[in-house]
Structure 1
Amino acid sequence: MRRFLSLMLALAFMSLNAQSAELSLPLAKLMRSPGPIELRDQADEYALSLPVPERWQVKSARLVLEFASSNALVAERSQLRVQVNRVTVAQWRLEPKATKRIETVSIPPELLVAGYNELRFSAAQHYTKEHCEAYASKELWTEIDPARSRVVLEYAASPPPLSLARLAAVFDKKLPQIQAALLYPNPLDEADLIAGGLIAQGIALRSEYAPFGFALAQAEPELGPGPIRLAWPKEQDAVLIGARERLAPYLDPQLLARITGPYLGLFADPRTPGQVLLVVSGQTAAEVRQAALAFALLRFPLPDAHETVIAKVDFAPFLPYQALPALLPGHTYTFAQLGFATASRQGLDPEPLELEFFLPPDAFAPEDAEAVFWLHLAYNAGLRGDSAIEMRINGVFERAIALPETGGAHYRDYRILVPLRSLRPGRNRISFHPHLVPAVSGECVLLNVEPLKVTLYQDSRLTLPAFSHAARLPDLALLAAAGFPYLDSGDGSGVRVYLLDRSPDTILAAWQWLAQLARLNGLPLPAVEFGFDAPTGPADLIVIGGQVKKLPALFQNSPLKLDDPFLSFLYPAGWQAPPQPWWQRWQRRLFPTEARLLPRQVKVQQTGGLGELAALVSFQHPAFSRRLITALLAEGPIYPAVQDLTRPERWAQIQGDLVFWRKGADTLHWQAVGEPFYRGRADPALRLIFHFAHHPWQWLAAALLAGFALAWGLYRGLKRYKKRHHPDAEEVAP
């Protein structure tokens, strides 16, 4: 649940000044999925988590709640209660004549602590005072509107602790948005690009799912007290990056003398309480880069000091996919290894039991390959025979587990077979939803919900089938889900960022994009190369540019072409069946398959351009087969568009091989129009399976040839045997 909580502040309104600020937070931003909050039956509840950053001192808080309830409720016995961290702060009768209500309640600031605070809504609902009633009657409901309901916080910023062990409080994932100014002495060179990219990745890794962004500015000296002689933007934390000699105008001599190697130091802004400066330096450009890598890796509360000199960073290369970390083919994992701890659920429809794991984005196996779940579970006596546990994969129903024994049961190694194709590339969420029904129920019957219990144990196991690695590219959905293929190596080896210009806007866009990939990877990408010149060697490229009028020769395979003053684009024009030669028609008779419909496009060349739109396009490298180019392009500033695209709700929409979007719009537009190619590291057997799965007629031809060769070999062998051992024997006619 918590991994989704930082989404709650992405679009919240915030006004900030030196004394206090106010945040208005819709409840919808605290929810995993959209939709109203529904409280049903005689008793029901719903809980949210309200994050409060460590740097905030909450002065006041209030909840504005808009809700509706059934007009069949009896007010004397029906109420809605609100609790904060299990303390009741408000309760209202549910009046049948006032079905739509707006209520405001103050929340004592002392109830809200730094971290995640539980906000719980509980409803008791009845439709009669004197007669017995059905527990789950359809008339028993209350509905909260999370889009119009909100929490309003007034707070003041407090100085964060000046300790490298507390960097999580500086770049706090519970902040409305993590925003940092990256300051450089002029000029900015390619070594600075690498160090700045690692700093951006380190900030993004700490933000988890919270929005993040950066500003790039030239460092300006300013005399003042303390070791820092630098002016930086107010109301922003800042990072000063550069080798020791280049930072001499901004740091006092005593601090410069302490920079004897890769250096990290955290300092307070004497002008603006609550703001901090992180100094990333070293004696050489290589040491600055090492310090930046150390910053990206220091996500454990050590060292507990405001500065440190890094002696060495051992960042050994990973095996493919293991930085993510992805599960290995043919292996068995306990649920405990996947982060699940033994847990129980109680009630009619309790919260689901969930676990997550990461599947390689290019996993390929035969169609009949199956993953096996070996469940260790128990359920209590007193359940009706139609009780069940619903198993969902990524929110989609997959299987049901019957709980038929009214006396309860304990299952060990309860086997569930799941087709591997039901799992998706990248992150998968498996959820078990208990639906428990008491053995005795009905009107005028005391409903005993205490025995409604089920437990799932952490020694349950998941066994994956053997699979290989092969994928069809370009596919931006694989990039959005798992950074494929740019995260294969785990450290960015074989990846080069090609910047079409040297503007701060383009540099920030590159840092933002790499920070997003690092967040998917869970680790920084120190081996990624940067450059302003067109690369010549084999590499997977990321091309970024704003103010683009004409594209370089690398884009000859791109479905989008910009050649000033013309733009060429393939517009969708319905669907068409691909032409079928005679052998494919015979193939369909021998191997019945689903009819294929391909999108039909019409190429239009025109003088109109992208305008306010930005484009994300992916295609095969024209000079190196099986190498991918992914480009982010705009005719205006590119960084605001890239920052908008990395918002979680926007990122989840990416697919196809060509995406257009406009900053601030709710949806993006995509197509799959480029020429596909295949890439992978399949072992020989699965490589053949993968090939023949897409070309079954070739399998038939190979089988016929193999059969003919075998028959011919047997014929020749038998003829030689006869000639050698029975030369005088005559053949007998049948």
Structure 2
Amino acid sequence: MDTWRERGRLALTLLAIAGLLIAQPALARSIGFEQLGGGEPIRLGGLDREAVLNFGIPRDEAIVSATLDLQLAMSPALLPQLSHVNARLNGRFVGTVTAEDPRREPQISRSLPIDPRLFGDYNQLALEFVGHYTERCQSPSHSSLWVQISPDSRLELATEQLDIRQGLSALPVPFFDPRDNRPLVLPFVFGASPSPAVLTTAAMVSGWFGQQAGYRGARFPVVVGTQPDRHAVLLVTNDTMPEDWGLEPVDAPTVSVMSGPDDARLKRLVLQGADEEQLRTAVHGLLYGKDLLTGQSAVIDAIQPPQARPMNDVPAWVATDRPIRLGDLVDRPELLQVRGYRPDPITLNARIPPDLYTGFYEGVDMDLRYRYTRPSAVNDSRLSVFVNDRFVQSLALAPDPKAEDSSRIRLPLLDRDRSQARDALRLPAFQLGIDNRLQFAFSHDFQQGEECASAPVEDVYAGIDPDSTIDLTGFPRHAPMPDLALFANAGYPFTRYPDLSQTTVVLPDYYGAVEMEVMLGLIGRLSALSGLAGARVSVTTQSALDQPSTDLLMIGSAPQWLSLENDAALGAQSPLLLSGAQRQLQAAADRASGVRTTVRAEGDLGVLVGFESPFADQQSVVAVAGNSEQGLRSAFDALTQPRLINGVRYGVTLIAGEQVRPINTGTSYTLGTLTWWQRIWLYFAGHPLLMTVLAVIAGLMLAALAFWMLRGVAAARTRS
């Protein structure tokens, strides 16, 4: 009897699961190779036969079915019966791609089904090339051995969303999952139109999620009064809590995870307080006490936020007060090691402080240490060093075990001479930017001996020692302003204080969902750029602004301060003014003479404007605005889309659809500190003609002084 009951329960369970799967169709997801770091075609050859692509699957998604769609081209000299490409997922064989005749099929497209059970949280897709151009012994370095895999290749997945019930201990999952490399889209939900104080707490939460999203980017759509059909963050107080949301009033700051009202698989991160002050405490509990949160709900009794971070103490920037280990620039030490004869370069991302001024120095010193499988004889094996894809130096990989495996390299900043020295090599110039790529390309030479004499060594390794250092000490801080490129790429000047303690966000008096969404998105981006959640930001409205001594981030669609009729301090200082269809531009150099340009035009226009704050010295104002809601969205897109961000620079940038037009309004102020002699050097560097004239005058004066002194000496000799 018990056996029949157990079978009955099992049958009912299976029927329930089957009904759920039928009711909830699988979601389609496509992962292109360009998203997995394969933006360029992947080329495999006889010596470097394998490429590995890494990707993750969110914890709340299960793979129902999967297909690998490969697009590739093979060398026409290959023998089709012996040449192919093998695909493996997490070490398990997936399938093989062959070509009947590479000469007749230059472009090959194949689809390989993948068993869903092979997927895990973190996955490695390996593509191995097996090629033969002859049935006899062949040289693995022969030019006929190649296959090129297109970046248009992709993984097509069908996924089913799961019900994650781990509660607070799993945070930030499922709202943000580090396994997912897609941009984060996380709605923020309010019971009623939020006040500036509630928006300040919401900005702190968006900074927390934005900092974790990092390179992926993040958007935070704003919803008022209803709940979306996806994971979301709810910020409510007792007096702004809709009755139909199923929430109970609270008398203490509370953080909880709940299921959605219509679908238990959709989760809600609920930040709740009896009033706005308790809501702020609940947010502090999430930001600073997450590791203590367990279960489905937690009450924050008390919490003491950390002290404000000092200026320039930015986690995401390379430190300038000490040499930095290269091992500190990677998440895992194994990323500093490669395998193969010509592997992909070891790439380190170094975010340099945007106001670091390098004009007084010839270069940056780097103490480089490295290891490699030593060649059996002297050959062309070498290590090439690049910075931002520009060649710096090439180091020979010697076969002698006693040979030096370290070198001191100078990364040049100015194009002086091209003489070569062992410790300080000066090569064609490059300028260190904000986001820099240090690339170390190992190339092991393979010398073919007599035919069929020997096979190549399969396991050839090389690596950069984590204790290698790069030294940025001694460089001054100086930035000519306004410069919207620094804001777009580094969040400067707001990220000088990584917790945004010196940032005030100013919204129009009547702000809507678009203004709030852009504000949350910008705070998330600033937090990603600084590496720290902007938990000390403040949000206010224009009418409540009272001559602050902080940097101002102005956000709005046709905000009042941009109006042509506005004579307030901000409007008088801004180089760009809007009034309906009218646009007025006045550069800093033209302000004294009264020269200005006014036009009337239709259409949506997004604007980015930077200028010095009229309220305090060494403080800045950046406006992200538009003449309409769509114009404001375009301005935000220009700061977050790679295809648009390179066009953002100078003091004014106009965005009309996909067109980004920067306008140079001149330099009106500077940030940072220089010594007196550095200021003199910098001034004359910008005025070479004046420096030449002064040098000629100084030379004539010295010549006259020398003539007068020598004439006096001659007269004295004559008298004696």
Instruction: Tell me whether the two structures share a fold, i.e. TM-score over 0.5.
Output: yes
Change (3 A) 1:78 1:676: farther
For residues 121-520 of structure 1, what are the structure 2 equivalents within 5 Å? 121-130=127-136, 132-147=137-152, 149-170=153-174, 171-173=176-178, 174=180, 176-219=182-225, 232-233=227-228, 235-247=229-241, 249=243, 256-257=249-250, 259-260=251-252, 262-297=253-288, 301-310=291-300, 311-329=302-320, 331-339=322-330, 341=333, 343-379=336-372, 380-382=374-376, 384-403=378-397, 405-409=398-402, 411=404, 413-420=406-413, 422=430, 424-441=432-449, 444-450=452-458, 452-500=460-508, 501-520=510-529
Cα pair 1:36 1:144 within 8 Å, conserved: yes
> Is the 8 Å Cα contact of residues 638 and 645 (structure 2) preserved in structure 1?
no
Q: Does 1:620 align with 2:612?
A: yes
2:692 aligned with 1:679: no
Counterpart code for 2:646: Q
Q: Deviations over 1:543-600 (max 9, x none)?
A: 21115683544244544332344223599xxxxxx9xxxxxxxxxxxxxxxxxxxxxx
The one-letter code sitting in structure 1 at the alignment partner of 2:167 is: S
Report the Cα offset of residue 308 of structure 1.
Answer: 2.4
Report the CA distance between 1:63 and its aligned residue.
Answer: 1.4
Question: Residue deviations 1:437-469, cap 9 Å, x none?
Answer: 035557655342347433322222222241111
On the 8 A contact 1:60/1:109 being kept in 2, the answer is yes
Are 2:58 and 1:53 equivalent residues in the alignment? yes
Cα deviation for residue 106 of structure 1 reads 0.8
Partner of 1:725: none
Q: Distance in 1 between matches of 2:26 and 2:445?
A: 49
8 A contact 1:376–1:456 mirrored in 2: yes
How far apart are 1:352 and its partner, in Å? Answer: 2.3
Please point out which of 79, 82, 96 is paired with 1:77: 82
- Structure 2 CA distance, aligned partners of 1:320 and 1:487? 9
- Does structure 1 conserve the Cα–Cα contact (< 8 Å) formed by 2:488 and 2:639? no
The aligned runs of 1:496-645 (5 Å cut-off) are: 496-500=504-508, 501-533=510-542, 535=545, 536-547=547-558, 550=563, 552-553=566-567, 554-568=570-584, 605-609=598-602, 611-622=603-614, 624=616, 626-638=618-630, 640-641=633-634, 644-645=637-638
**2:296 partner letter:** H
Q: Are 2:635 and 2:655, in contact at CA under 8 Å, matched by a contact in 1?
A: no
Distance in 2 (alpha carbons) for counterparts of 1:711 and 1:292? 73
Q: Cα distance 1:186–1:48, how it changes in 2: closer, same or farther (>3 A)?
A: same
- CA–CA distance in structure 1, aligned partners of residues 241 and 512 of structure 2: 22
Q: Corresponding residue for 1:594?
A: none
Residue 111 in structure 1 maps to residue 115 in structure 2: no
What is the RMSD computed on CA atoms of the aligned residues?
3.8
- Measured in 1, the distance between the counterparts of 2:576 and 2:554 equals 14
Structure 1 pair 27–732 and aligned structure 2 pair: CA distance change class (3 A) = same
Report the CA distance shift for 1:443/1:168 in structure 2 as closer, same or farther (over 3 A).
farther
Counterpart check, 1:25 vs 2:30: yes
Shift of 1:313: 3.3
- Identify if the C-alpha distance between structure 1 residues 438 and 334 changes in structure 2 by more than 3 Å, giving closer, same or farther: same
How far residue 413 of structure 1 moved from its aligned partner, in angstroms, is: 4.6
Task: Write the distance in 2 (CA, Å) between the matches of 1:442 and 1:197.
Answer: 69
Answering whether residue 30 of structure 2 is matched by residue 37 of structure 1, we say: no
Q: Could you tell me which of 68, 71, 93 is aligned with 2:73?
A: 68
The 3-state SS of whatever aligns with 2:383 is: strand
2:442 is paired with a residue whose SS is strand
- Whole-angstrom CA distance in 1 between matches of 2:340 and 2:458: 7
Identify unmatched segments of 5+ residues in structure 2: 1-20, 415-429, 590-594, 706-715
TM (normalized to structure 1)?
A: 0.80
- Residue identity matched to 2:282: A
> For 2:89 and 2:388, how far apart are their aligned partners in 1?
30
2:3 aligned residue? none
Q: Tell me, yes or no, if the aligned pair for 1:692 and 1:698 is still in contact at 8 Å.
A: yes
**1:456-507 CA-partner distances (Å, limit 9, x unpaired):** 2222222224111111122222112321111112222332222234222212
The count of corresponding residues between Structure 1 and Structure 2 is: 657
User: What is the identity percentage for the equivalent residue pairs of Structure 1 and Structure 2?
Assistant: 22
**How far off is 1:689 after superposition?**
4.1
Q: Where do 5+ consecutive residues of structure 1 fail to align?
A: 1-15, 220-230, 572-577, 579-601, 714-729
Q: Distance in 2 between matches of 1:215 and 1:74?
A: 55
Is contact 1:512–1:642 with CA below 8 Å preserved after alignment? Answer: no
Aligned amino acid, residue 215 of structure 1: P
Worse-matched range after superposition: 315-324 or 647-656: 647-656
Distance 1:703 1:249, change over 3 A: farther
In structure 1, C-alpha distance between the alignment counterparts of 2:85 and 2:110, rounded to whole Å: 11
Distance 1:565 1:526 in 2: 38
Q: Which TM-score applies when normalising by structure 2?
A: 0.81
Residue 350 of structure 1 deviates from its aligned partner by 1.4
> What is the aligned counterpart of 2:109 among 87, 102, 107?
102
Out of 181-190 and 240-249, give the one that drifted further.
240-249
